[in-house]
Amino acid sequence: MKGSHLFPCLLSVSCWLHLTLTAGHKIFHFGPCRVSVSMTEIRSGFTAIKANIQARDPIRTLSILSYPHSLHKVKSSDRCCIIHHLLNFYVDKVFKHCKTEDSYVNRKISSIANSFLSLKRKLGQCHEQNKCTCGQESPEKFKQILANYEGLNVTSAAIKSLGELDILLDWMEKSR
């Protein structure tokens, strides 16, 4: 009799643990690739530092991600390629150069960077399986973003790119 109560108990603990671990995770469709992302975690980290980061941005007349049509009207088939480039861009360029004297802000940046690194790894698996192909449009759009970034000094460009993270997150949300 004691053993008959063990299975339902283990099942309920397992279900609770699964729900707890996946809370806030959403499935995003980047072309043929599907990845699970905790957008709630990324958004809350960014929201906590957004005003601080945007206040550090000395250049208000230029946008890196909002350049006309940079992320707008990307074909569904090209979404995987452009997000792959953007994740590499943020992990390899932006987060490395976003250091402040505020340890709280630095911890939040690090947390967002870790989330992007995790997403990059998940998407990389799809990319390695040749499911994530690049049409002509996505490399051109990414080249424009990179040109906007490289037109500024490294620190200013990184701060501006981090301050525009909500543009990227909104675009990602449309991929659900």
Q: Mean pLDDT, to the nearest integer, of 166-171?
A: 90
pLDDT at residue 22, as a whole number: 44
- Classify residue 7: in a domain, yes or no: no
pTM of the model: 0.81
- Classify residue 9: in a domain, yes or no: no
Domain range holding 128? 25-173
- Classify residue 79: in a domain, yes or no: yes
pLDDT at residue 103, as a whole number: 95
- Classify residue 56: in a domain, yes or no: yes
pLDDT at residue 131, as a whole number: 76
- Classify residue 112: in a domain, yes or no: yes
CA-closest candidate to residue 165, choices 88, 74, 41, 64: 64
Split into its structural domains, the chain has a count of 1
Distance from C-alpha of 142 to C-alpha of 164, rounded to nearest angstrom: 15
Residue 67: other Cβ atoms inside 10 A:
15
**Six-digit token pair at 80?**
């995987």
Q: Mean pLDDT, to the nearest integer, of 14-23?
A: 41
Residue 21 has pLDDT above 60, yes or no: no
Exposed e or buried b per residue across 117-135, where buried means at least 16 C-beta atoms within 10 angstroms of its C-beta: eebbebbbebbeeeebebe
Q: 137-150 and 76-89 helices cross at what angle (nearest 10)?
A: 30
Judge residue 4's burial from the number of C-beta atoms within 10 Å of its C-beta, 0-12 exposed, 13-18 middle, 19 or more buried: exposed
pLDDT at residue 14, as a whole number: 43
pLDDT digits (tens, 9 = 90+) for 87-135: 999 999 999 999 889 999 999 999 999 999 999 998 888 878 877 778 8
**Six-digit token pair at 111?**
């947390």
pLDDT at residue 24, as a whole number: 63
Distance from C-alpha of 71 to C-alpha of 138, rounded to nearest angstrom: 9
- Classify residue 11: in a domain, yes or no: no
pLDDT at residue 37, as a whole number: 87
- Classify residue 20: in a domain, yes or no: no
Residue 11 has pLDDT above 50, yes or no: no
More confident residue, 76 or 163: 163
Query: What is the DSSP annotation of 86-155?
Result: HHHHIIIIIGGG---S-HHHHHHHHHHHHHHHHHHHHHHHHHHTT-S---SHHHHHHHHHHHHHHTS-HH
The per-residue pLDDT of the chain, averaged, comes to 82
| CATH code for the domain in which residue 44 is found | 1.20.1250.10
CA dihedral of residues 156, 162, 167, 170 (deg, nearest 10): 180
Q: Which residue has the tokens 């906007």?
A: 148
- Classify residue 60: in a domain, yes or no: yes
Backbone angles phi, psi at 121, to 5 degrees: -65, -45
> 10 pLDDT band (50/70/90 cuts)?
very low
